[in-house]
Amino acid sequence: MAAMLALRSGVDHLGSMRCTASVATSDGDGAGGEQIVDDAQVDRVLVVTAHPDDVDFGCGGTVATWTAVAVEVAYCVVTNGDAGGFDPAVPRSAIAGIRQDEQRKAAAALGVTDVEFLGYPDGRLTVSHELRRDITRVIRRVRPDRMVIHSPQRDLRSIYGSHPDHMAAGEAAMCAIYPDARNPFAHPELLVQEGLDAHTVREVWVMSPNDRAERYVDVTEAFDRKITALTAHTSQTAHMTDLDERMRDWGAAQAAAAGLSAGRLAEGFIVLDTR
């Protein structure tokens, strides 16, 4: 059964008081159970996703809990989202700009201002040397303590959880985390031409929107901000009359898997030690 880990308030190295989020950890067969990097030691988080809106569906509540306690969060969005949208009257050529604007508004609702778009075509993402380099560039610029990414593995029990772009973005991010970003001789132009020195990411949280996660974050108090962020993606969610109910049901299922009390909402992750 799941065991609750109540993380205490802590003082970071800048001397400011930080109250960390409530986290539940699974006692299953995975690597979860112990905190790899204490939240009080996390100053910067980088979230890498395939499309605009992925972060808000997958971990918007968690991001809101982090920014609420002064953790800096940055986004790296790999594709331009041009294959999205539901209104045939909107020209395809306009979609990328619309979705970027929506993502910036959604990010602002969660306290995030650093949003970088890599501009890869939506629906055609592959794990390339160029993509690894571009994500490595963002890692070395942001220098995060923790990263959040898609799973690089197909979930045979969830077709929606196995979008090819998500898997490619997750795998490319893992390659950038190890070995690329920490190796000064990988993508040497980043150091020689751009002055971006090597950086080691200490911990990776892989989004796990099912009952098989290893770590769950209680996002009950952040749920309204998550919905605000999602509704900013008008081109993607305006037709979803049941958005609030759908997200609440999903969060309740995650909370139940975490062993949280009835009425709580959660988001789940698999946590990897990448030091």
What are 66-87's pLDDT values in tens digits?
Answer: 999 999 999 999 999 988 877 7
- Residue 230, domain member (yes or no): yes
User: What integer pLDDT is reported at residue 19 of this predicted model?
Assistant: 35
CA distance 160 to 158: 5
- Residue 234, domain member (yes or no): yes
Q: Is the pLDDT of residue 254 over 70?
A: yes
Domain count along the chain:
1
For the chain, give the percent of residues with pLDDT over 70. Answer: 87
What are 201-234's pLDDT values in tens digits?
Answer: 999 999 998 888 999 999 999 999 999 999 999 9
User: What integer pLDDT is reported at residue 84 of this predicted model?
Assistant: 84
Of 4-13, 17-26, 91-100, 170-179, the range with the highest mean pLDDT is 170-179
The CATH number of the domain holding residue 166 is: 3.40.50.10320
Residues 6+ apart with CB under 8 A from 191: 184, 197, 198
- Residue 8, domain member (yes or no): no
- Class of residue 202 by CB neighbours under 10 A (exposed 0-12, middle 13-18, buried 19+): middle
Say if CB 236 and CB 122 are below 8 A apart.
Answer: no
pTM across the whole model: 0.88
Q: Which domain holds residue 232?
A: 22-29+42-273
- Residue 222, domain member (yes or no): yes
- Residue 16, domain member (yes or no): no
User: What integer pLDDT is reported at residue 31 of this predicted model?
Assistant: 36
- Residue 118, domain member (yes or no): yes
What are 89-110's pLDDT values in tens digits?
Answer: 888 889 999 999 999 999 999 9
Say if CB 74 and CB 144 are below 8 A apart.
Answer: yes
- Residue 3, domain member (yes or no): no
CA distance 69 to 51: 26
Q: What is the DSSP letter of 210?
A: S
pLDDT, averaged across the chain: 88
CA distance 2 to 258: 6
- Where residue 2 falls among pLDDT bands split at 50, 70, 90? very low
- Residue 34, domain member (yes or no): no
